[in-house]
Amino acid sequence: MKLQQLILTISFICLPLYSIAQLETKMPWETGTENKNSDYQFSTTWRLEIGFQQPNQRSDSTTNNTFFNGGKVGFLVDFNLPYHLGIQTGLRYELTYGTNKQHYRSADNSHVTVEYIRHDMLKHALSIPIRLVYTQQLWRELALTAYTGPTFQIGLAYTDKPFNALSDTTLSWIIHNSPDKSLFHIENHDYYSDKQFYRFNLQWGLGAGLQWRHFRLEGGYNFGLNNLAHYQPNTGAKTNMHEWSWEVSFIYTINYQHFDPNYAQSAQMRREARQQARENKKANQKPIEWHFGTGF
């Protein structure tokens, strides 16, 4: 990634924070009262995340597009700011699986016009999101959330297990006419180790979700910003490969804070009143007295 792109990304993150810091502070639930900066208390919210994602590697040629399916698990931390805003980051482990077929015209079988090699690919990665998050209370403990910001993904492994369905004649013809034989694989290999793909992937994400108390359901889309394909000097090929993805996540808030303190306080008072009523009822119950007589 070019230095200019990195500087631009950092600017997108820092400038909103600087602007927010200059504004008067108001707590999320205070909509009609003025508040001074000294009243704001910085806090953090910790969350656990598990979800599904479907990346799509898009190249110049639509025939080389590859869809992956997989999941992610990790943790998130929100640095809560005034005006319903926050900065969210964290660390997630991602595991995705994809398959792709390369088709070739048969060289020795007149009855089979097309032969193929199937590639079964497995990707391991770590990702670090840095998002600007907006949270708006809708009703009691129900809230709407929205976010935007970059995600920095670091590839750990990108393995490929090819299944060769080519005839010997077709395979020999392909190898003989391949401009760079190191790029043609019929054995297990790793794309990162072969220097066919870069490990670093920068994406910009947009998403929204709903939260009820500790639980949040969230979905979003990530747009790939940098080229993932290495330039191949032996073939002169310069392919543009970007990875876009959509995702859905289930998030659990560890140290949940009520959106409406008044509602939370009244709910606590109702629970205490019910508990006290049960204790009073139990204390006022008289034991059953049994009287036995002869009846004569």
Domain 43-276, CATH class in plain words: mainly beta
- Higher confidence at residue 19 or residue 241? 241
**pLDDT at residue 19, as a whole number:** 45
| Buried/exposed 65-103: b ≥16 CB within 10 Å, e otherwise | ebebebbbebebebebbbebbbbbbbebebbbebebeee
- Of 142-156, 190-204, 228-242, 263-277, the range with the highest mean pLDDT is 142-156
- Higher confidence at residue 235 or residue 140? 140
Tens of pLDDT, residue by residue over 129-163, are: 999 999 998 988 899 999 999 999 999 999 988 77
**pLDDT at residue 119, as a whole number:** 83
Q: State the average pLDDT over residues 172-180.
A: 62
Which among 94, 100, 93, 205 is positioned nearest to 148, based on CA atoms?
205
Cα distance between residue 249 and residue 1, in whole Å:
28
Tens of pLDDT, residue by residue over 85-107, are: 999 999 999 999 988 877 767 76
Domain borders along the chain are 43-276
**pLDDT at residue 165, as a whole number:** 66
Q: State the average pLDDT over residues 160-178.
A: 69
Cα distance between residue 51 and residue 219, in whole Å:
9
Q: State the average pLDDT over residues 256-285.
A: 71
CB atoms within 10 A of CB 218: 19
Tens of pLDDT, residue by residue over 187-214, are: 788 888 888 889 999 999 999 999 999 9
